[in-house]
């Protein structure tokens, strides 16, 4: 079966390992269509870095409106599909995005079954033309992969009645995410909590700073990420008297991130739900677990289902509860060791790229390679 994946996700080198695993699945001839670069929402540019490329073909296509998640489109997509002649197309974009509509329209013209990906876990009604595109995509997609349980409910609520599978497409490479030494920090030693991700209000980094102000000076914080909230957060750290206990890293290359994560003693993701957003997965949780770093997350969106019994969950917006959870990990070596072990085990059992590749291959097989009549 010839399968084409259309995705900007694999611009990042670590994600490409998943395609190598997918290309190893029996009976699959895999191609990737991806842009030569992606403009991130924090003003950066992420160039395509072909690093893990064994076993599949790469087709780079320029895109219009680069960096605009909902309205970007691929140039020359129709010609690429004619060259590649896939039996199945996997569109790694939300049903309401213009790139999804564009790709599914081209696939339908050529009788190519296509599946799409849904992550939006809140029932939102979009203005035209996004609502129209979403309705059309749900009516014509051969399958939907929901990245979380909430997204599956949204798809059904919006009228999708076709094959629906629920699993995250964000896998981790256990060879890259090797665990840190299993010995916990001593109760009187320095203890470093950390956060990795966008610096935006909904991620709750301000709550970590308030929690830090309640904890003894030996507990430090490392923040890795960029975003519009950086200056406000730095000012808050100063106001709370914890500025000297916080280290800010605006950017770390993706392949160096596992080493930076292993230097942490705990990882925190205290996301807070907004009217238009709830945490959809939290890939950094799986990465931290794979690295043997105990995790603390809020009850926002998919976080509790990602963590399971392999970490600590605190109420949203509750800085005192967050401080207490960090204190437990800093002062209870047995608890720290248990969660570090459980996290690694859970990551290997549920979130590896190999496992996700096998699940994707099963979905592809269910949809089948039979072509529909063009334009049907």
How confident is the model at residue 370, as a pLDDT?
43
Instruction: Collect the ranges in the chain with pLDDT lower than 50.
Output: 370, 376
Domain spans, the chain: 2-171+353-367, 191-350
Q: Cα–chain-centroid distance for residue 5? A: 17
pLDDT digits (tens, 9 = 90+) for 25-45: 999 999 999 999 999 877 788
Cβ within 8 Å of residue 105, ≥6 positions away: none
Q: Class assignment of domain 191-350?
A: alpha beta
Is the fold of 2-171+353-367 the same as that of 191-350? Answer: yes
Which ranges constitute the DSSP H helices of the chain?
16-23, 77-84, 98-109, 130-140, 149-157, 205-213, 230-240, 257-262, 283-290, 303-307, 319-331, 333-350, 353-367
Question: Helix (H) and strand (E) counts for the chain?
Answer: 13, 17
Give strand ranges (E) for 26-146: 29-34, 37-39, 45-47, 57-60, 63-64, 73-74, 88-91, 114-118, 143-146
Query: Looking at residue 253, what is its pLDDT?
Result: 86
End-to-end Cα separation, the chain, in angstroms? 21
Q: What's the CATH superfamily of 2-171+353-367?
A: Glycogen Phosphorylase B; (3.40.50.2000)
The confidence score (pLDDT) of residue 374 equals 53
Give the pLDDT confidence score for residue 216 in this predicted structure. 97
Relative to beta strand 45-47, strand 37-39 is: antiparallel
């Amino acid at each position: 079966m010839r399968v084409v994946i259309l995705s900007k996700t694999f611009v990042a080198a670590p994600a490409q390992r998943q395609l190598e695993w997918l290309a190893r699945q029996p009976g699959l001839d895999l191609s990737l269509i991806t842009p030569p670069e992606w403009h991130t929402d924090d003003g950066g540019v992420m160039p395509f870095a072909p690093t893990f490329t064994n076993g599949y073909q790469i087709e780079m296509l320029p895109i219009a409106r680069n960096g605009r998640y909902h309205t970007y489109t691929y140039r020359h997509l129709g010609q690429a599909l004619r060259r590649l002649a896939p039996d199945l197309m996997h569109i790694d974009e939300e049903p309401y995005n213009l790139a999804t509509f564009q790709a599914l329209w081209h696939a339908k013209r050529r009788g190519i079954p296509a599946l799409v990906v849904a992550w939006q876990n809140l029932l939102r009604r979009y203005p035209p033309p996004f609502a129209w595109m979403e309705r059309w995509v749900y009516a014509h997609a051969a399958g939907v992969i929901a990245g979380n349980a909430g997204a599956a409910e949204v798809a059904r609520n919006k009228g999708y009645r076709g094959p629906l599978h629920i699993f995250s497409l964000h896998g981790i490479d256990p060879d890259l995410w090797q665990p840190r030494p299993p010995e916990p920090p001593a109760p009187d030693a320095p203890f470093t909590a950390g956060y990795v991700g966008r610096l935006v209000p909904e991620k709750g980094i301000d709550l970590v700073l308030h929690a830090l102000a309640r904890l003894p000076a030996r507990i430090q914080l490392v923040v890795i990420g960029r975003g519009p909230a950086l200056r406000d957060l730095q000012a808050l750290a100063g106001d709370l008297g914890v500025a000297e206990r916080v280290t800010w890293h605006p950017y770390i290359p993706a392949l160096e991130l596992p080493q930076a994560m292993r230097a942490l003693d705990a990882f925190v993701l205290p996301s807070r739900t907004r009217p238009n957003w709830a945490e959809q997965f939290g890939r950094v949780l799986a990465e931290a677990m794979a690295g043997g770093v105990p995790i603390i997350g809020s009850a926002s969106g998919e976080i509790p289902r990602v963590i399971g019994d392999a970490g600590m969950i605190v109420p949203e917006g509750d800085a005192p509860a967050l401080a207490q959870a960090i204190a437990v990990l800093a002062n209870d070596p047995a608890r720290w060791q248990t969660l570090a072990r459980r996290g690694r085990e859970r990551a290997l059992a549920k979130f590896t790229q190999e496992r996700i590749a096998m699940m994707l291959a099963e979905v592809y097989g269910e949809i089948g390679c039979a072509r529909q009549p063009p334009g049907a």
